[in-house]
Structure 1
Amino acid sequence: MGVAADLARLLPDIEEVPESLVDDAILESFLGWTRDRGITLYPAQEEAATALVAEDNVILATPTGSGKSMVAIAAHFVALARKQRSFYTAPIKALVSEKFFDLCQTFGPENVGMMTGDATVNGNAPIICATAEIVANIALRDGANARIDQVVMDEFHYYSEPDRGWAWQVPLLELPNVQFLLMSATLGDTQWLQEDLTRRTGRTTTHVTGSVRPVPLEFQYVYTPIHETVENLLDAGLAPIYIVHFTQREAAEHAQALTSVSMIDAERKQQIAEAIGDFRFTSAFGKVLSKLLRKGIGIHHAGMLPKYRRLVERLSQQGLLKVICGTDTLGVGINVPIRTVLFAELAKYDGIRHRILKSREFHQIAGRAGRAGYDTQGTVVVQAPEHEVENFRLRQRAGSDPAKLKKLRKKAAPEGRATWSEKTFERLTTAEPEELVSQFQVSNSMLLNVVARPEWTYGALRHLIRGNHDTRTKQNASIHRIIELYRGVLRAGVVEEYEDPQTPTGINARLTEDMPVNFALNQPLSPFALAALDLLDPESDTYTMDIISTFEAVLDDPRQILTAQMKAAKSEEIAALKAEGVDYTERMALLEEVTWPKPLEEHLEDAFEMFCEGSPWARDFDISPKSIVRDMIEKAMTFSDFIATYGLARSEGVLLRYLTDAWKTLDHSVPAKHRTEQLDDVIVWLGELIRQVDSSLIEEWATMGDEDTPLTEEQVAEIAFGVEDASLLSSNPRALTTMVRNLFFRHVELFAFEREDTLAALDDYMDSPPEWPAAMDDYFEEYADLGLDADARSGAMIRIQRGQGWDGPDNNLWLVRQTLDDPEKDHGWAFEGEVDLAATDEAGEVRLRGLRIIQG
């Protein structure tokens, strides 16, 4: 586990220490641990630790890079010493997971648990890592009786996030007995928050700032083209450089553009190669990333596979990368140590409009520059927009000649996009972060959680609505909304009044049935999906696919994937309309109606409306019919195939997370009475597909299967340090069989639609792929069509012989024959190939040694 785990063994036995010396004993134990590790605390860190030992609330508003994580460790140590239960919260599951493994290494896995809504591990541990929504949910359900003594809220500026800020506010309102540590570098004026916390908890609230950064920042605004800026920074020895973009596409494209710049020498290339070792780059993007990394260039954004992101972070932590092109995820506690932050722009699209960065956003990202212990100064560089760069160069060429300056034809800023200037830069560098803004929201789930308290009182709801940080006007609106919601749950019979039901007042209310503790956190509409299964026809040929579509409709939308599917559907539709001779205006009108595939849309919407009548809390959410898993199955696509078909190379991580959510939901939610052999095959196939693409998510899930058991030290080491799962695809013959069937039927489907280019790309790894165009000509001269229905996909049409090849028995081969379903049912045509198990294991996808076409 490492020396850090010694911290839990240094806890003082406070029962053996005089009460007057307990605080000193706890503080000295912690400080002794830091000294033994050669860590010298900054004054702000020691001030915060001292206040925590004194049982104060602490608002830690120190700059990025000033060691807030160490203060969080101090907080957990204090709570553990007092035999209290502490929670660490963060805005994103990835950060919660990262902190979980960090704390396991520091305090020992027996003392640390995790709750994310997806999974719980060691849920009764004294230290729990959780998303903010989990803690808010507990606070709503249990109020002052919650089993929480201390809450460490990281990235507390999320309090101002419109959709999620309520989760950062609710614990402050509903946990009066808790000690709070609120941490962020960009909180703005918090005087009101200090006073509010002290009033609610009865504790002193200590505000720790420390405005001087341990590593000071230098800010620059430059008028050079970005590639020149990068070269200048490299020449000045200011690497590693993190280049901030606000789209994943721009980050990837810029990384590729930088390959022309020579960044590293032969020795560094060798070091990178050794650090990468036998890491598996299993996807198309992975092969691109591999080439970039070996040139000292990294890419980092949320659309990447987790294993690729972790690799970039690991190489960065080893100081091997010169430049990383990424997105603004850098501002959310991602551990990428860098010296220079280079902003490619100061404007971003926030989902509604293109706007200039807020001061808080700018400082969150800029603050990552400068590595404590390595750099004496961090550098923040902002690129002038392209039109300003060009105008600057024009002015330089004109020199001081007034006539030339007067004749300059300056380039204008692009229309429809927010633009910035040096004045914008100066304002952002000096501006204080915006003040925190209350984002309290009422909902059905909030109402039901409060009513579910063991000792419900009307006053609890009144306290929540009238006691929050909203203005009086917004509170009044919340009151009207909560009354409306309450009447709805009464009508639905979810809540009942047990004394005077004729005159409902809310004073004597209770739930008519137990609600799952975290029903509003992980796939909240799973109860609807379960109910909707009873409306499906088990005798239908599409029954298994319809089960999958029902559950896909309650999963979160992966917008990048749905947008790509819609784009592909529009392309197909416009080609068909052109072929039919439909004029342009009508084509455009018809295209407005085209969207991504939505199986069972009307059926599911009708079923959802019925469900909401009895479960009005469900109206807080929306179903969203879509077809991603179903699309992959029906078109027999592999992960790589799906990525290539829809042009999603920059969104591999999005697809993987969606498939993982789908796999977990299907595996754990479909009751036995609805499970079919085909669905079981799908679940096994999907799990193995995910494992072969990137085992980290599925292994993490599998590891966390028992919510009452801590991880072992070996499990912590394997997951925390990104050790790749070495399981071979051939070791799961059931999943491999499904993948083989899918691959051969994919060939059939592409053959039927005469997609010869796609077939060639599918088989491009083979030495001698089939001559598809000639075979298509021959087949369609003989037959007018090729079947793709359930009969064509049936087991009767494919034969798999394990341990057999064209030349006889061979344990490394499977011989496969896929018969084509011609309209005359002659069944004389077939595709026959050898599955190469060794190549399959190496690639993580089915690989054929050869493929030939049998003509009847």
Structure 2
Amino acid sequence: MDATVPSRDELGDRYLSSLQVEPYPVQEEALLAWMTAEQGVLVCAPTGTGKTMIAHAALYEALHRDEIAYYTTPLIALTDQKFHELQQCAVSWGFSETDVGLVTGNRRVNPDARVLVVVAEILLNRLLNAENFDFERVSAVVMDEFHNFADAERGIVWELSLALLPPHVRLMLLSATVGNSREFVNWLERCHNRKLELVEGTERRVPLAHQWIPDRLLGEHMVDMAGGEGDSRRTPALVFCFNREECWSVAEHLKGLDLTTGPQRQRIKEEMERFDFTQGAGPKIRQILGRGVGVHHAGMLPRFRRLVERLYEQKLLSVCVCTETLAAGINLPARSVVLTNLLKGPKGKKKLIDASTAHQIFGRAGRPQYDDRGYVYALAHEDDVKILRWQEKYDSIPENTKDPGLLKAKKALKKKKPTRRDTQQYWNEAQFDKLIAAPPGKLYSKGPLPWRLLAYLLRKSPEVERVRGVIRKRLLDQPRIEAAEKDLDRMLLSLWAGGFVTLTPEPPKQEEVVEKEEKKKPEAPTGSGMFDGILTNVTKEKPKDEKVEAKPRYSPELATPTPKLGSLLQFRGIHPIYGAFLLEHLGIADRDERIQAFESVLGLPRALWRSVRVPLKEEVPPGPLQTTRLDTELIKRGLMLAKVPDEEKENDNGYDDEEEFEPPLAEKLRLLFDATYPDVKDVQTSPVWSVGELLRFNGDFNKYIRAHNLVKQEGIIFRHLLRMILLCGEFVNVCPSETTPEEWRAEMIDISQKLIESCRSVDPDSTEKAIEQAHAADVVEGEEHRVPTNSEGGTSDADDERRWEETFENLYGGEK
């Protein structure tokens, strides 16, 4: 080692000496473990324990040793916050702000910096493209909020990153308390040859006081919390709601209460004078903020959320009403948290929030630098509060009273007894106690193998056993591993049916399987998929006097890619098989049909569907894709009724029959997709018409949302538009059949340009961040060069081969 490069021990001592506060015991233990561990540490401690201080040690070390370190988070909002925080740290350590960079899916700042703050997907993408991203100088990777490993949708990102990380890179995993930490580190050593030191803490730096509030309504309780001076005040507070509409109604209620001081309101007014509140939800937000109340949820524009965060951090807001998303990592320090509800879900089907979510919310209470404890309040339903108050008033009149006035009052009270409503769901103190006492969640592998990763693996090697090896290394019990292997076989059969691979041995013909099964038992197959007969490993039930014979389950040995498999690697913002399916059909579609198809995959929440429904065919007439292909194909398959000729529609009375219902384009596409790929169950689509409608308003965002009563959800619509821009970026360099690359490219660029202009007028900063990624995908200005979308940098087939040599070394421990 170069004598001028300080040792880890020396840097550890220097870092400890630089700290402005005495480390908490778990922090000190974790820092010492990091300085001595060869491969890294797993730190499990409650929210609010100061794990960020531990993370800074790894980044401090990388900067002083001229090495590279990654800091990953699960949320873009949290990534932004950590980026600015680490820039300030770098300056305090004697370095420059430019030594800290940021890379997310839609933003890059100082991408060549030595400390890179990234969302978890970026790290995985770089590990999968190791030829383009040199990991030789990477000394450490910090994975913050690592309990997201157990997330059903995105946990696979952390899991695969662990599998692919080069052995020389030291790893720091920072997590809330988990219930199987020892099992996890044992699995990591056994399956991935990585030995981590485990550091656990159970005590919070600021202890929590939990209190059930059975007798006060929210407004009354918040006034009590905001009263008094200094430590007697229980604000600032975060008030958690479990849907966006409730956030608005609660904030509207609280704005009329006296929750702030005069000086606070004056400073808020001064801050807001520099901000434009004239459009959309701006006037409503201005009124609420002016009373010291913030609102923070995904339905708000990013610029409004950033303003709320800034005012709250400056201690100008006494209360912030928010959804549980804020508890997932965004750091808004609070003395108290208030839960207005303990149930979450659709009306009539609400369930108690899970313990992990509850503990994340509880953990937001208590600021180490200001509070000696944090306060967690859970309020009873307002009906129960009214019932309790009535009961107390009723019981205050003795049953044996002889006083005529009291008897009359008691009788009158009895007639007015409040009751619970059949249409409401209620929660209670026992459920609150259950959440408090619930053990921490466990880390297990969640979610299936992603289709895009499976395509990557098969491009490298058609040997299915290697992919099964990946599955067997997952942190699952044996029954779940066996189920995952069956899912893999089903995925491979779907790829085969779609012409993406050829299988060896060739699958038995489905007709033969059905015929054999029908002879054994007349009942229909139990499953709904095309390959249920092939994948069954036991014959159907026979009469008791007959022997049940085992039948071998079909399981391919080789899955050899066809040229078509490469199309699955083009898509990240859309299900890859559905993306490939759209490429087969959108060539003959008109502009409106293409927009409808793209919008259907962007995942607008169900609560907005009524406001963004696809218009009737008189307003948006069916285009060539529907009239010349989809209708004919769906009628032929028996999935849609043939249309009745106009001359036959009149009934005997001379009146037209009720207009036949015709599914919108997105539903027709989905019907055909499901018929083509019946075993691909993880595609989410919904027929919506938001981008198309906005363009009919000439891109006037504010006019559009006002016309469709979407002001309270403008942030969701804005995000939908940005995602549409990025989706056009994925499709711009892949051309459907039945059209020309020039026509297709021009349309993708034109749609993107119009949406960018619309978004710029609403939230320029957030739009510019999205444009940076769109530039990378060659959508915005229409440059002639092409940047493949299957990686952050262009690669050739030869590059892919070399890259996958290293990938398989990591995934399979050197096995070829």
TM-score by length of 1: 0.68
Q: Determine the C-alpha separation between the residues in 2 that align with 1:394 and 1:499.
A: 74
In the alignment, the residues of structure 1 paired with residue 106 and residue 687 of structure 2 have an alpha-carbon distance, to the nearest angstrom, of: 21
User: Equivalent of 1:75, from 58, 63, 74?
Assistant: 58
Residue in structure 2 matched with residue 744 of structure 1 by the alignment = none
**CA apart distance, 1:24:** 0.7
1:170 to 148, 160, 166: 160
2:612–2:688 contact (8 Å) kept in structure 1: no
Aligned pairs for 1:82-161 (under 5 A) are: 85-107=68-90, 108=96, 110-118=98-106, 126-136=114-124, 147=135, 150-161=140-151
What SS does the corresponding residue of 1:221 show, helix, strand or coil?
A: strand
- 1:336 is displaced (CA, Å) by 1.5
- Quick one: distance in 2 between partners of 1:532 and 1:105? 51
Q: Residues of 1 paired with 2:732 and 2:192: CA distance?
A: 44
Is 1:696 matched up with 2:765?
A: yes
* CA-to-aligned-CA distance 1:384-421 (integer Å, 9 cap, x gap): 22233123212322446663899986655444654322
1:224 aligns with 2:216: yes
Alpha-carbon spacing, 1:118–1:204, altered in 2? closer, same or farther (3 Å)? same
* C-alpha deviation, 1:291, in angstroms: 1.3
- Counterpart AA for 1:196: W
Checking the alignment, whether the CA contact within 8 Å between 1:58 and 1:180 is kept in structure 2 is yes
Aligned counterpart, 1:326 = 322
2:610 alignment counterpart = 563
Q: In the alignment, is residue 16 of structure 1 matched against residue 20 of structure 2?
A: no
Match of 1:551 in 2: 598
Distance across 1 between alignment mates of 2:342 and 2:51:
27
1:534 aligns with 2:587: yes
Asked whether the 8 Å contact 1:549–1:625 carries over to 2, the reply is yes
Question: Which residue, 646, 652, 655 being the options, matches 2:708?
Answer: 646
* Aligned counterparts of 1:165 and 1:554: Cα–Cα separation in 2: 21
The 10-residue stretch of structure 1 (186-195 or 411-420) with the greater mean CA deviation from structure 2: 411-420
User: Match for 1:275 among 247, 258, 271?
Assistant: 271
**Cα deviation, residue 132, structure 1:** 3.3
Quote the Cα distance in structure 2 between the aligned partners of 1:617 and 1:109.
50
Q: Distance in 2 between matches of 1:622 and 1:353?
A: 21
Q: Does 1:423 align with 2:430?
A: yes
Counterparts in 2 of 1:76 and 1:389: CA distance versus 1, 3 Å: same
Q: Which amino acid aligns with 1:44?
A: V
Distance 1:491 1:665, change over 3 A: closer
Identify which of 255, 258, 278 aligns with 2:251: 255
Provide the residue aligned with 1:479 in structure 2: 485
Q: CA deviation at 1:426?
A: 2.5
Over the matched positions of the two proteins, sequence identity in percent amounts to: 29
- Say if 2:167 is the partner of 1:181: no
RCO greater where, 1 or 2, for CA within 8 Å and sep 6 or more? 2
Q: State the Cα distance separating 1:193 from its structure 2 match.
A: 1.0
Instruction: State whether residues 280 and 714 of structure 2, in contact with CA within 8 Å, keep that contact through their aligned partners in structure 1.
Output: no
CA distance 1:557–1:209, change in 2 (3 Å): same
Question: Unpaired segments of 5 or more residues in structure 2?
Answer: 91-95, 402-409, 509-553, 620-656, 734-740, 778-816
Q: Distance in 2 between matches of 1:343 and 1:137?
A: 38
Query: Which of 182, 198, 202 is matched with 1:191 structurally?
Result: 182
1:502-513 equivalent positions in 2, closer than 5 A: 506=557, 509=560, 512=563
Q: What residue is the counterpart of 1:28 in the other structure?
A: 13
Partner of 1:463: 469
Helix, strand or coil at the partner of 1:213: coil
Aligned counterparts of 1:591 and 1:415: Cα–Cα separation in 2: 38
- Cα distance in 2, alignment partners of residues 497 and 120 from structure 1: 41
The superposition leaves residues 599-625 of structure 1 with CA deviations (integer Å, 9 ceiling, x where unpaired) of: 5653x4588579x78xx9987535544
Helix, strand or coil: the match of 1:242?
A: strand
CA distance in 2, matches of 1:194, 1:15: 33
- The more displaced of 520-529 and 339-348 is 520-529
Shift of 1:339: 1.1
Return the alpha-carbon distance in structure 2 between the equivalents of residues 474 and 349 of structure 1: 27
Indicate the SS of the match to 2:388: helix
Evaluate the alpha carbon distance shift between residue 87 and residue 591 of structure 1 in structure 2; reply closer, same or farther with a 3 A threshold. farther
Amino acid of the structure 2 residue aligned with 1:355: K
Q: Tell me the CA shift for residue 114 of structure 1.
A: 4.6
**Cross-structure match for 2:574:** 523
Unaligned runs of 5+ in 1: 1-13, 537-542, 573-588, 709-856
The offset of 1:652, in angstroms, is 1.0
Shift of 1:353: 3.3
Alignment partner of 2:439 out of 406, 421, 432: 432
Question: For residues 643-682 of structure 1, what are the structure 2 equivalents within 5 Å?
Answer: 643-666=705-728, 669-670=731-732, 673-674=742-743
Q: Which residue of 2 is the match for residue 5 of structure 1?
A: none
Cα 1:98–1:198, aligned 2, differ >3 Å: closer, same or farther? Answer: same
Aligned residues of 2:180 and 2:442 also touching (Cα < 8 A): yes
Task: Give me the whole-angstrom Cα distance separating, in 2, the residues matched to 1:679 and 1:192.
Answer: 49
Task: Measure, in 2, the Cα distance between the counterparts of 1:184 and 1:591.
Answer: 57
The answer as to whether partners of 2:69 and 2:141 remain within 8 angstroms in 1 is: yes
Partners of 2:705 and 2:206 lie apart in 1 by: 42
Q: CA 1:440 to 1:149, structure 2 compared with 1: closer, same or farther past 3 Å?
A: farther
Deviations 1:585-611 (A, max 9, x none): xxxx9999698xx45653x4588579x
Deviation, 1:544, is 3.6
Distance 1:510 1:180, change over 3 A: farther
- 8 Å CA contact 1:61, 1:208 repeated in 2: yes
Residues 392 and 174 (structure 1), Cα distance of their counterparts in 2 relative to 1, 3 Å cut:
same
| 8 Å contact kept, 1:544–1:679 | no
d(CA) in 2 for partners of 1:521, 1:352: 35
Question: Structure 2: how far apart are the matches of 1:139 and 1:675?
Answer: 32
Counterpart AA for 1:548: I
**Cα deviation, residue 343, structure 1:** 1.0
For 1:424, the aligned partner's letter is Q
Amino acid of the residue matched to residue 556 of structure 1?
G
- The 1:494/1:124 distance shift into structure 2, 3 A limit, reads farther
Instruction: Report matched runs for 1:283-682 at 5 Å.
Output: 283-349=279-345, 353-399=349-395, 403=399, 411-415=418-422, 418-453=425-460, 460-490=466-496, 492-495=498-501, 506=557, 509=560, 512=563, 515=566, 519-524=570-575, 528-536=581-589, 543-566=590-613, 598-599=664-665, 602=668, 604-605=669-670, 621-622=683-684, 624-634=686-696, 636=698, 638-666=700-728, 669-670=731-732, 673-674=742-743
Kept in 1, the 8 Å contact 2:334–2:364? The answer is yes
Q: Report deviation, 1:149.
A: 5.8
Match for 1:397: what amino acid? Answer: K
- The amino acid that maps onto 2:428 is S
Q: Does the CA contact (< 8 Å) of 1:299 and 1:325 recur in 2? A: yes
Does the aligned pair in 2 maintain the 1:119–1:707 contact within 8 Å?
no
Matched residue, 1:51? 33
8 Å CA contact 2:595–2:691 kept in 1: the answer is yes
Give SS of 1:284's match.
coil
Quick check: 2:71–2:144 contact (8 Å CA) kept in 1?
A: yes
- Supply the AA of the counterpart residue of 1:213: R
- 1:629-682 CA distance string (max 9 Å, x none): 111223557322222232222211101111122234346744661269887665
Offset of residue 326 of structure 1: 1.6
TM-align CA RMSD: 4.1
TM-score normalised by L of structure 2: 0.71
1:365 CA drift (Å): 0.5
C-alpha contact (below 8 Å) 1:632/1:642 kept by paired residues: yes
Query: Which secondary structure does the structure 1 equivalent of 2:7 belong to?
Result: helix
Relative to 1, partners in 2 of residues 1:212 and 1:443: Cα closer, same or farther, differing over 3 Å?
A: closer
Equivalent-residue separation in structure 2 for 1:307 and 1:275 (angstroms): 14
Report the CA distance between 1:235 and its aligned residue: 1.2
Aligned residues: 659
